Structure 1
């Protein structure tokens, strides 16, 4: 897939994630229970890989102790039917592009269908990479946005809910709304928005315009938005975005979905020639953020009039814009709003599998109730036992000093280390699923030091200095420290809240320039060791949070194996590494 996009559609370099085919992953459900899920990037070590997820599939099967022959259904989170191809070609024919451009693009889309995305091409690729050809009767192609919606529904406990799905683009669409009742999806067809009016793609175009990687670095634009207030008037709102009475929106200038630069001239008309300065980029980012907030609030405002349900699921890449999520929920009548840990394309394999299971004739209501009664954890990927850790450590003999402690000793020692200005790599259990580090492959630090953010950004993560860090907080203490409004928890870092005034000076390393934090709430049930560590750290310091950022450096996936963790530890200025029950320091850093 990556070869086709790079050779035929120019998706190379900074633009390599812009088109279809990023975030490859696999997931496995057994009797409706999610037993395994992992992104391919964690295993092949290529961030946001476009490659076929053969390693992820193999690991899921091995984890469950089964083979391809044991699988009852194979679900794919795309449905590029022949009808979708014809509708795509019709849209190109009707466009105002020059005829030679249309002819070339139609040829590319036809070849893309035949060689990459058609059901026949997908199954042929599956067989070539795995050696297994699924029985067509066992195959389900789930439309991309329905996979997103089902991901949210399944991970939220399969309770009836309204949904908003918004991302860059799927087969032909970018956003839609609807309901899920008893596992059955109803799409409000008049809210479906095509790819030419994609808020996700427009935000990616702005990301590219500001010098970042589209479909990858949108969170940098979110970070920049905190450094400015939206301009008044906001040219995105006044000149580009149009809101319609049916809950949809459009742009006065439609996107050219094959040209990421189609709006660059417009952006410079609005904001002046591009300047690589914080003042310029933050002003554009703040304006873009306000536009996204207004567009999604318009959709939700219409949705709440269309449904009598009180829960809202927000899924798709746009749902990872956590700056938007809190005001979106607070401005709605919905009693709860969930954004899952699988909201981006990493999670749609879960949704496709759940969709196939929910719609299988042998799935009974009692089966759904039984599966829904078991909470789903994000810790779904590979774990490594003591033997695997010790084997990995052998390769670093002489370069590290290792102490093995029991659980209580480990918590006590790490909590004491964190009272100092140190950075710690924390590695335990099964790797988390999704784009956020949720405490199993994390870098931890004390937010009480004003310069700890700069230390981590420059010495460890090797990333831009304006980037903020998220705090861990005990769920029962979170409303005291953060103004959470109607939310009581945020376990997946999908909401941003203002830090209460009396705590801003106590956790400066975890407070963004605009006075907010993207928090992860902890409970003893979900993360017992990490929660115990935070409790003990708080007892020692009276600081109620820990900084948590992903255990990786810029441009690399989150570490998966003990060897990955050791390599990252040795190549950065992380002070200590916790591998399971091992506390590890670098030999050249150890002093008497």
Structure 2
């Protein structure tokens, strides 16, 4: 048996490190982001050691059995002569003990890894693939044509300093966020859309190209090192921040983060940056379809997490559950060994099982003395939800990617706007931030505009219908959109069964769904993570595997 371990790892992949294991047929055995294992958000500068160990355990193999380690970056270009040999590189980047049998190391260009992670996860046999992020080795946007059985073809490329990711990073940092919190910028931008704000366009769309308002620097000849790219990044982001400062007439918000919606300048900057992304990506999507000669379109790269933009693009459109840098672990591995069998869109449930091998519940040593346990009863779960309770679910194998897809989720009935307020309090989030809704396919067609693939992973904003606004106001944002998830068959058994139970009772089968984590923490991964988070947060119940947990009140009864 051949084994390929894909990684996003330092020194090149310095955030969102991850590991993914494929067998000789290109089938995914396991995939996890390091943050889920080590509990450090985004795993900055940390090697994917725990994620890689999880992958090996899932397959029942040792590090010495790995044949190829595929890295989603050309580390030799970015860090020339930093490592004496592949052994030194693997020790630094991955940290596994491979013994005397060193695996082959394959360095896959960053945008090619992004492109592969999207196309091979999609249901398409041929597609144009658009990759947009901060930067790869020598580029910030690329267009590819992928087809089963053929070598991928790069059609177009744009230089690093003409980066849409840099422009959005600058807006996010102007607002006081980290570049890793770009989702907050997107959420704030909706207030500009709702107010029909007239903003300055920062891109000139040309027939076959685009030109950003902040002129790109002259690219250095040949390949740039990581230090040179960092210097370029700081310069370009600085120029963009100066542009936003000029637009707003201020060098930052006048309100604290929790009250940014009270600051017109903050909304102006967020919406200006959002419109830049939407205008440019719409044009690039059209160029991608033209270059590939097909309508099927895949997106990847960090900018593909911009749900508001994704939702404006016509289909057929596919975005994978892990479009950001963690996804290049999968894309690098698939570049080495594309999947032999493709049966439709990728299942995202590839992470840690809440139970142990063979489905054995792992609760030994976990303190549940202050909790009341019972076997999970779906009718009881539905009753709790209808009673206005907010709870969490941790069941089966964890989903990969930044969106909780009902196996590590907080859920509630969204029949009032007040539930949005309560869940934001529970999660210690700003009150202006929105939540997503989840339902079954048939009912989703009545609640919001239809999306063929984006709603599988909650990666596209869709305008809510009158019915959606009426029955689920808790998941409709200020601009009238939601970021829907459609749950098929038994993908997430407890939540799916709860939706079906609500429908049987004549209640709209839709729930608020958000990630099960407190502020600043990764999404829960194990049973221990779930119990710890449940006890620390003001949640009413926890579905853990096939068990239901409630909290005791001061008299010893059930809350």
- Structure 1 length as normaliser, TM-score? 0.82
3-state DSSP of counterpart to 1:341: coil
* Deviation of 1:134 (Å): 8.5
Q: Which residue of 1 aligns with 2:37?
A: 43
3-state DSSP of counterpart to 1:391: coil
3-state DSSP of counterpart to 1:323: helix
The answer to whether structure 1 residue 455 and structure 2 residue 422 are counterparts is yes
| 8 Å CA contact retained: 1:37, 1:381 | yes
Alpha carbons of structure 1 residues 116 and 575: separation in structure 2 relative to 1, 3 Å: farther
3-state DSSP of counterpart to 2:186: helix
* Deviation of 1:136 (Å): 7.1
The answer to whether structure 1 residue 445 and structure 2 residue 430 are counterparts is no
Structure 1 portions without partners, runs of 5+: 6-18, 86-111, 330-334, 359-367
| Separation (CA, whole Å) in 2 of partners of 1:586 and 1:117 | 56
Q: Which shifted more, 118-127 or 218-227?
A: 118-127
Q: Residues 475-524 of structure 1: CA distance to partner in whole angstroms, max 9, x if unpaired?
A: 1221111122x637611001111111133121111111111110000111
Q: Which residue of 2 aligns with 1:364?
A: none
Q: Residues 34-73 of structure 1: CA distance to partner in whole angstroms, max 9, x if unpaired?
A: 1100110001000000300011111101110112232222
Q: Residues 265-301 of structure 1: CA distance to partner in whole angstroms, max 9, x if unpaired?
A: 2211111113224222122111111110111111122
Q: Which residue of 2 aligns with 1:76?
A: 71
Output aligned runs, 1:221-232, within 5 Å.
221-229=185-193
Q: Which residue of 2 aligns with 1:292?
A: 277
The answer to whether structure 1 residue 60 and structure 2 residue 55 are counterparts is yes
Output aligned runs, 1:308-457, within 5 Å.
308-329=293-314, 336-358=316-338, 368-369=339-340, 371-373=341-343, 376-385=346-355, 388-393=361-366, 395-397=367-369, 399-405=370-376, 410-457=377-424
Alpha carbons of structure 1 residues 157 and 285: separation in structure 2 relative to 1, 3 Å: same
| 8 Å CA contact retained: 1:247, 1:301 | no
| Separation (CA, whole Å) in 1 of partners of 2:525 and 2:99 | 29
| 8 Å CA contact retained: 1:242, 1:252 | no
3-state DSSP of counterpart to 1:57: helix
* Deviation of 1:20 (Å): 5.3
* Deviation of 1:173 (Å): 1.3
Pick one of 132, 139, 145 that aligns with 1:166.
132
Q: Which residue of 2 aligns with 1:99?
A: none
Aligned residue pairs: how many? 521
* Deviation of 1:525 (Å): 4.5
| Separation (CA, whole Å) in 1 of partners of 2:406 and 2:204 | 41
The answer to whether structure 1 residue 500 and structure 2 residue 477 are counterparts is no
Alpha carbons of structure 1 residues 57 and 134: separation in structure 2 relative to 1, 3 Å: farther
Q: Residues 447-494 of structure 1: CA distance to partner in whole angstroms, max 9, x if unpaired?
A: 012200110101x1001101101000101221111122x637611001
| Separation (CA, whole Å) in 1 of partners of 2:389 and 2:80 | 52
Alpha carbons of structure 1 residues 69 and 353: separation in structure 2 relative to 1, 3 Å: same
Alpha carbons of structure 1 residues 52 and 488: separation in structure 2 relative to 1, 3 Å: closer
3-state DSSP of counterpart to 1:173: coil
Q: Residues 397-452 of structure 1: CA distance to partner in whole angstroms, max 9, x if unpaired?
A: 2x1111124xxxx2111111000221101010001100100011000001012200
| 8 Å CA contact retained: 1:475, 1:489 | no
Q: Which residue of 2 aligns with 1:243?
A: 205
Pick one of 575, 581, 584 that aligns with 2:549.
584
| 8 Å CA contact retained: 2:132, 2:302 | yes
Alpha carbons of structure 1 residues 572 and 526: separation in structure 2 relative to 1, 3 Å: closer
Q: Residues 81-112 of structure 1: CA distance to partner in whole angstroms, max 9, x if unpaired?
A: 3xx45xxxxxxxxxxxxxxxxxxxxxxxxxx5
The answer to whether structure 1 residue 482 and structure 2 residue 452 are counterparts is no
Q: Which residue of 1 aligns with 2:14?
A: 21
Alpha carbons of structure 1 residues 581 and 188: separation in structure 2 relative to 1, 3 Å: closer
* Deviation of 1:337 (Å): 0.6
- Structure 2 length as normaliser, TM-score? 0.87
| Separation (CA, whole Å) in 2 of partners of 1:443 and 1:146 | 35
* Deviation of 1:204 (Å): 1.2
Q: Residues 332-362 of structure 1: CA distance to partner in whole angstroms, max 9, x if unpaired?
A: xxx511011011112111111111013xxxx
* Deviation of 1:231 (Å): 7.5
* Deviation of 1:526 (Å): 2.7
| Separation (CA, whole Å) in 2 of partners of 1:266 and 1:250 | 12
Q: Residues 208-242 of structure 1: CA distance to partner in whole angstroms, max 9, x if unpaired?
A: 1101111x21111111111123887633x2xx423
Q: Which residue of 1 aligns with 2:105?
A: 139
Output aligned runs, 1:103-252, within 5 Å.
112-115=79-82, 122-126=89-93, 129-132=95-98, 138-157=104-123, 159-189=125-155, 191-214=156-179, 216-229=180-193, 234-235=199-200, 237=201, 240-252=202-214
Aligned alpha-carbon RMSD (Å): 2.6
* Deviation of 1:156 (Å): 0.9
| Separation (CA, whole Å) in 2 of partners of 1:261 and 1:500 | 41
3-state DSSP of counterpart to 1:197: coil
Q: Residues 139-161 of structure 1: CA distance to partner in whole angstroms, max 9, x if unpaired?
A: 21111111111011111146211
* Deviation of 1:187 (Å): 4.0
3-state DSSP of counterpart to 2:281: helix
* Deviation of 1:122 (Å): 3.0
The answer to whether structure 1 residue 306 and structure 2 residue 280 are counterparts is no
| Separation (CA, whole Å) in 1 of partners of 2:88 and 2:150 | 29
3-state DSSP of counterpart to 2:442: coil
| Separation (CA, whole Å) in 2 of partners of 1:321 and 1:217 | 11
| 8 Å CA contact retained: 2:87, 2:102 | no
